Structure 1
Amino acid sequence: MSRLSQLLRVAGLGVALALLAARPSLAQAAEAAIPTASAAPAAASEAQTLLLWFLLGTLALVILLILLLATMLVVRLRPQLRRLYELPTVRPTWSGRVLGLLVGDSTLVRGEVRDEILDHDYDGIHEFDNDLPPWWKYSFYATIVFAISYLSYYHLAGAGQLQGAEYAAEMQQAALFVSAEADDPNKLTTYQPLTAAGDLSSGKSLFTTNCAPCHGANAEGKVGPNLTDEYWLHGGEVNHVYKTIKFGVQGKGMVAWKGKLSGKQILQVSSYLLSLQGTKPAGAKEPQGEKEAPGQPMAKL
């Protein structure tokens, strides 16, 4: 046991030296963490963060030394622990099984292995009478406890929100952060179609330059849908068209023209599209989307 005493003294001395070495730095960090009347709050916060990390590092070092000491003790005392584990009054107990892990017996984890064959077989297949692994049984028991707790908390007591209610609450909270300005894609504008010849001419020029490659020179539809029939994918009222042009349709190939065209230019294009309704150009693409009630100024993108 003299060697064990030496190991204990060395480990204790290591811990003491670590704490003594940390003491000056700890004192300096503590002084820096106390803000003076002229110190900036940011500097005080940074000093407190450094102090926290220093304390965590010191704690980790102490824990590492304790684990190292415990490992050395177990290795050194393994023969004595083995003799203790072999005692008939110790081995069957729970503490004895934990002790068995330290001396190399994994019965606590894998369970008892008994090579006893049951008195029945199926098609020549024999079944052994072995225990389920304890880790599996205790995990199964834990799932039962969790299920009962979940049912009691969420369904019987009603203390917690279910998924539907939680989703609704999160969406309601998220709506508070959504901008209500003109750049809000969830807010529909209230524009009226432009009817002046100059605006429609500008809208046609913008359409020919930016939209014709996908929708055709006469809006008959190519890659994009036909814009002259009465079937609409995203709403044909002028403000729906304005929204579609401005913000695009993600995943459908319709790019957002926000930042490329001004608000007035987008409204000019939208109004020009309304003027094309019912023109029935040659080679028009098959209808897409849903049919909307006639008599409303509409267009489709």
Structure 2
Amino acid sequence: MERSLELANMTRVQEFILLGLSPRVNIRDALFAVFLTLYLLTLLENTLIIYLVYSHSELHKPMYFFLGNLSCLEMCYVSVTMPSLLVGLWIGSYHISFTVCMTQLFFFVSLICIECTLLASMAYDHYVAICHPLHYPLLMRPQVCLGLSLSSWLGGLMVSGVKTTCIASLSYCGPNVLNQFFCDVSPLLNLSCTHVALMELVDFISGIVIFCGTLLVALASYSAIGLAVLHMASAAARRKAFSTCASHLVVVGIFYSAALFIYCRPSRIKSMDLNKVLSVTYTVVTPMCNPIIYCLRNKEVHAVLRKTLHLPRC
């Protein structure tokens, strides 16, 4: 009877308060202008890449197929987190309903899992292209590329569905303040008023499996590529192979460094301002830089872009 009364007296949180990126009113207007510009630029860049890849037969290759997928992912990515960031900069801390918060969490976790597997797939594509060029048409035929892409998207949605369901089923009875600019796993676990040791363990293990598993695939691929490049007789071939892989290595390094620092540790560690800065790195900076790093420095993409814009050749 006493237990029932205790549970009845616990008021379930119906909404959360997001503190946003910065509490300093004097710099929020400037930050709002900067991040709105970055958001629009990211959408424009990735839309352009998707259009070029899917409208020109010259780019109907596995590498560009994955780049098109990545650009689509990045557009979804920034559209999940950036509106919350902009609202926080415009009005300061604000309320978000429990349902909207969990929906945002579901899509965010989905997209970060999908990006991990897509980056691993792209590393494998580079490995096959450089280490097994004669077998490349067979190993990276359209059916394989489509299978890798679909498994990335479906796998990310399934993992996120399980994780979000577990987090949503926890009890939140106050306080309800999230020290973040969007609904993220660690700040939400910090607010749960029930014992979350098992959820912490599941979250930690899933982070290790997803992040570290895909990172190991990428590292193994590039280790094999490095050995193959060292054995190339031609200096020009070595430079070309290195140029092909360097951009992907930069993106992998930035993305995994920030993500592993935040997620591959016990989730109930108190959220710090440093976490928000690192979150900006992989939710804002990386999606904006990826098209430039991957595509806009690529000769084939340059040629197609010039033809699309009717610009003369250099």
TM normalised by structure 2 equals 0.20
Instruction: Identify, as 1 or 2, the structure richer in helix.
Output: 2
TM normalised by structure 1 equals 0.21
